Structure 1
């Protein structure tokens, strides 16, 4: 509805196959052409401010969380695509090839990168001070709505060079945007590495001590249609479980269970695996409960599991479970260090292991690849 009523909405550029009307089917080529037309329309409408000189940007996002303001400030710029191969940019999540393929085609067809990959790094005092100094100037953009306040400062010249040098040797960890990075890698390979702008991709670098990590809660349907009593019996055979007034887990190793209108607390057994990722709550839940009791062998594609992002809250988990009689598993958030440790070990987390917020808005920064190639 928003896209049809507002031709300047950036959602017109980022539409996916799921947004197509039924009569259009899965016409990916048609979709990509429409996305390019929408991007061209925004260029012609002159809604963007262009910067020809090499620039970095400081990007601050403020959101309200649990009754207070959470703020994180990062550096927006370009990172080399091939650094994921040289192990300076580390991943922790698998990607679905069909999704990254469509995103790669979108990148090339539209000729623009508009959703920065979110990266984190181990903060240090010198870099923190340099970023703070950059925010003493007047911002080039400040915008606010009911959900988020965004402030952007432009950084050029020696100051930009100093920032680049301070992050040049840091290990970077992808926190959001694994599919976008995979899409950038695929686009570069298909260009035979002969298209300059594709050698780097748009990213925002946030310090690890400012990252807000929330969980993805799980909802699972029982393929056997067992009674609540039988389900509790099956779970109690492998885990310590007790009735509880609260569904929210208090600490790592605990999972809240919502079943038939009642809340319970589960104490997860230790994993039988030796890898770092095996010790995470999401992996232990998968190993001891989801796979053996509910048959959820592949949590990324199984039809009887879905996920509720942490920001939606536990009440949403309960409401949905009350409607379809599924079980709700309420997770404790992992720490940003867990994500970084898993990435450093070269391991991959299960799907929907964490929900990091706030997420940078698409369309705030737009990198015009064709214009950039002409400048080069």
Structure 2
């Protein structure tokens, strides 16, 4: 039974929260980062890139220490203020496409992660886990929640709706990406207890996005627990900040694939090898996007193709085998194009499914890539089944919404 607890969030003041909130650091181009930091002294980017103040790049432990210093400066200057009472936070995002996401920001249990009550569907890289664990230990806070999803629950849905409809939001602001954010605080003990009881009735909840952050938080928990001779289980390191949304709110897009070469094959040789697994139809100049699982689109040499799996050529033994990202890997990327490591091979790049097939076409026509593949998105049930079976998806199998911002609520260790 999942355990969630309220916490005293550190939050920007209402007047400047829209200036503080930021996308993940790596999602900005260099020019975008420079512009925001030059003209917005409140941006959370100043905290995660503390070397900007000294006009130099800093890395490792030195950077972590400076991140902590910048964070403490923001608190000292009154940019950040900590709530007086432990709370849950109802958080709503309305994006530029009109999609709405509503859920609860809470602290979730590292032991639940250890015991597979919080389930994962992606592999993580040990080096990245350790790096972020060290970061958390030094800076002492986490500013971006892990995205978790839970089965739709009428009681929790009523509390969220009632909170939104009967109270003024603590925050309401719109970002330059044209998504609008709202936050309400729940600090009544009775309401908190009701929410906790509803989550305790659930068998499991699932990581939708943030596998490395949750894994690193778990490593931090193990380290701190071992060092603390008076460990009680209620210390802040026992938990990590999460944004929990119902499964019906989760939006999953695919990641399409772009490949730089045909692995030494001519176009004709490649198509002959492809014919083993797929029925191939040339669609000419007309952009094609697949509408069914196990069908793919392909753009090669100025033309679109549709690929239909020959069912006799591929056996579905596990839930993972049915995933289109795995199917594409096992039938084309690995055996024909020679791509074994989807995470580190420089010959492959990914484009999230919010971009249409014209993006694939443009990337190939530019000469940077030789071939592109489009697929259908997976769904929540596939994601859950793979997690339940103890399997993991290939890298870049899902592009999941909502995408969260840093610096809106902060969890201190």
TM-score normalised per structure 1: 0.90
Distance 1:231 1:12 in 2: 49
1:10 aligns with 2:10: no
Distance 1:43 1:30 in 2: 20
Name the Cα RMSD after superposition.
2.3
TM-aligned CA distance change 1:332 to 1:16, over 3 Å: farther
**2:277 equivalent among 238, 252, 256:** 238
**1:105 equivalent among 134, 145, 156:** 134
Distance 2:372 2:50 in 1: 29
Higher relative CO (CA 8 A, sep ≥ 6), structure 1 or 2?
A: 2
1:114 aligns with 2:143: yes
Matches within 5 A, 1:15-34: 15=49, 24=57, 27-34=59-66
TM-aligned CA distance change 1:328 to 1:367, over 3 Å: same
How many Å apart are 1:38 and its aligned residue?
2.4
Which residue of 1 is the match for residue 170 of structure 2?
140
How many Å apart are 1:101 and its aligned residue?
1.4
Which residue of 2 is the match for residue 251 of structure 1?
292
**1:336 equivalent among 380, 386, 395:** 380
Deviates more, 1:287-296 or 1:236-245: 236-245
Distance 2:329 2:282 in 1: 21
Q: What does the per-residue CA deviation read over 1:167-200, in whole Å, with 9 as the maximum and x for residues that have no partner?
A: 1232110000000011101111222343721100
Distance 2:246 2:213 in 1: 20
8 Å Cα contact 1:121-1:173 kept in structure 2 = yes
Which residue of 1 is the match for residue 6 of structure 2?
none
Deviates more, 1:190-199 or 1:287-296: 190-199
Distance 2:280 2:77 in 1: 59
How many Å apart are 1:310 and its aligned residue?
1.9
Distance 2:390 2:407 in 1: 32
1:211 aligns with 2:254: no
Structure 1 runs (4+) deviating above 4 angstroms are: 21-25
Q: Secondary structure at the match of 1:94?
A: coil
Which residue of 2 is the match for residue 366 of structure 1?
410
Q: Which runs of 5+ in 1 are unaligned?
A: 370-376
Which residue of 2 is the match for residue 188 of structure 1?
221
Distance 2:144 2:76 in 1: 20
Q: What does the per-residue CA deviation read over 1:118-169, in whole Å, with 9 as the maximum and x for residues that have no partner?
A: 0001102222122211212111111112431111110012112211211123
8 Å Cα contact 1:269-1:284 kept in structure 2 = no
How many Å apart are 1:75 and its aligned residue?
0.6
Deviates more, 1:342-351 or 1:126-135: 126-135
Q: Which runs of 5+ in 2 are unaligned?
A: 1-33
8 Å Cα contact 1:120-1:175 kept in structure 2 = yes
TM-aligned CA distance change 1:23 to 1:363, over 3 Å: closer
How many Å apart are 1:84 and its aligned residue?
1.3
Which residue of 2 is the match for residue 226 of structure 1?
265
1:151 aligns with 2:196: no
Deviates more, 1:202-211 or 1:93-102: 93-102
TM-aligned CA distance change 1:209 to 1:7, over 3 Å: same
Distance 1:28 1:22 in 2: 17
How many Å apart are 1:218 and its aligned residue?
0.8
Q: How many residues align?
A: 363
Deviates more, 1:174-183 or 1:242-251: 242-251
8 Å Cα contact 1:116-1:202 kept in structure 2 = yes
